[in-house]
Amino acid sequence: MEEAAVREAPALRERLAALVAWASDGTVTAAEALAATVPLSALGVTSLAQMRLIDAVEREFGIEFDFSDGEVDVLNDLGALERRITGAV
């Protein structure tokens, strides 16, 4: 199931999953991030890893997080993060 998720994932989501794996030092693999049905934090993405993810996403995609109350949820969901980057939210 995880392999199928990897194959079908769009390129941006795959890239974000790779960043999650990097930010969490492999605690959460890219495949696990892509297949996640629970918040990434429930898989083991700590607040330190979240900060690393934010920094990497900001630098790579030229966006800035404002850390409003709703934005934490974006960090817990690859789909939401993808929409945040493409401007869909």
Partner 1 sequence: MDVRSPEGMDARSGGTVEARFSGGRSGTAPLTWGQRAIWDAVRKTAPDDRYFNFGQILPVPGRARPLTPERAAAALGSLVERHESLRTRLGPADPDRAQADQAQAEQAQAEQAQAEQAQADQAQAERVRPYRPLEDPEPQQVLEGSGTLTVTVTTGDPERLLDELTATAFDYAAEWPLRAGLVVDGDEVTHLVLAFCHLAADGMGAEVALRDLRLLLTRGAVPGPVPPRPLDLARWQESEPGQRVARMAAEHWEQEYRRIPPTMFDRPSGEAASPPVWRAKIVSRAMDLAAQRIAALHSTSTSTVLLAFSSSLVTEVTGHEVCAMLPIVGNRFRGDTVNAVTTLSQEGLFVLEAGHEDVAALLRAAKPAALRAYRSAYHDPRDRDRLTAEISRSRGTAVHPYCCFNDMRFTDRADATHDEATVRRALAETELTWPLQQDKLNCRFCLHLTAEPGGLGVSVTADTRFLSRPAMERYLLDLESALVAAAFAGAPELVG
Residue ranges that bind partner 1, judged by CB under 8 A: 22, 37-39, 41-42, 44, 46-48, 50-52, 54-56, 64-65, 67-72, 76
9/45 with CB nearer partner 1 = 45
Range 36-72 burial, b when 16+ CB lie within 10 A, else e:
beeebeebebeeebbebbbebbeeebeeeeeeeeeee
Quick one: 10 or 21, whose CB is closer to partner 1?
Answer: 21
Task: Pick the closer one to partner 1 by CB: 44 or 86.
Answer: 44
Minimum distance of partner 1 from residue 88's CB (angstroms): 21
Cα angle value 41/76/47 (rounded, 5°) = 50
Token pair 């939210």 is found at 89
- Residue 16 beta carbon to partner 1: minimum distance, rounded to whole angstroms: 15
CA distance 21 to 67: 22
Closest separation in Å from C-beta 53 to partner 1: 9
